Amino acid sequence: MGFVAPLNLKHTLDSILSLSSGGFLQNDPLEFVRRYADPCDREVAGLFAAGLAIGRVDLARKAVQQALQVLGPSPGRFIRAFDPLRHRSAFQGFVYRFFRGKDMAVLALWLRRVLEKHGRLESLFMGGYRDADPDVGPALSNFVRIFRRMGTRPVAQSLPNASGLRAFLSDPSDGSACKRLNLFLRWMVRRGEPDLGLWQGVDPAKLIVPLDTHVVRLGRKLGLTTRATPDWKMAQEITRSLRAFEPDDPVKYDFALCHAGMERPCPADGVDACGTDCPFTVFCARIHSSKRDLYLK
């Protein structure tokens, strides 16, 4: 049996979005991407920012700011002029999680090659996009594989398996949830606030929710998924559940789930330990109760 959407849950999610009025951006790397006006600048800055959107919010934002400072006032212009021998030291000393300066320099090199051949990241993505596909998964796989096939020289001999860039450019066909790439696609494709709506050729209905810790936890508690492993299939299942609320734009609720989870982290002890100010408590209680009734039968 498929997911049956509680109507009031949609109202709750819509209320969170309407009350935010852009306020959530102060905890989101998208804030920095929106500062650029040029579409190419936004694409380049967005890919760097999405790649670094991992770990604690304050530390991730600091890393994004550091990377974008190197790219300067026009990230697109910086990338087009990137000389791998002359500029590879531009990111020297950069360290965040599994990312090193070499990862940033290789990404700059790869982006320069993409812009030289395709003009825009959008054009590269659209080369693998098909309206007949059920979601963006096949196009995203094509997008990632093109990057992965590019050589790293002369910036580096190769990238280690533990490279942050390798982990970022994950492939959904391998089962990866591709959280940060789906975040990048949300920014580029969605027409509504707070996203940018740059890529008009991609149907927002085909986006997949970025599967961060908060979306996984709330997805399970709210019955949006029954899966245990946070992988591509779980991301698809949560997205299908959200389509019951908004068939043409299911990923609009990612912002509400993610940032509501940041503000009120779910306790490990379950619904009984939840605060009374959590907007989702009633839905968690309903689901926990139904499960308990099933166990008693």
The segments of the chain whose pLDDT lies below 50 read 1, 269, 291-297
Domain, as residue range, for 157: 7-296
Q: What is the pLDDT of residue 80?
A: 98
Residue 1 resides in a domain: no
Which tokens is 98 given? 């599994």
What is the model's pLDDT at position 296? 29
Phi, psi of 99 (to 5 degrees): -85, 140
Is there a domain that residue 282 lies in? yes
What is the C-alpha to C-alpha distance for residues 215 and 230, in angstroms, rounded to an integer?
A: 10
Structurally, how many domains does the chain consist of? 1
pLDDT of res. 19:
78
Asked if 179 and 170 count as a contact pair (C-beta separation under 8 A), the reply is: no
Rounded (10°) CA dihedral 189, 202, 261, 171: -110
Q: So what's the pLDDT on residue 276?
A: 64
pLDDT of residue 161: 84
Residue 2 lies in a domain: no
Q: Are strands 99-100 and 95-96 parallel, antiparallel or unpaired?
A: antiparallel
85 within domain boundaries: yes
Q: What pLDDT is attached to residue 293?
A: 39
Mind listing the pLDDT tens digit for each residue in 83-125? 998 887 899 999 999 999 999 999 999 999 999 999 999 999 9
Q: Which residues contact 48 (CB under 8 A, 6 or more apart)?
A: 64, 67, 68, 71, 75, 104, 107
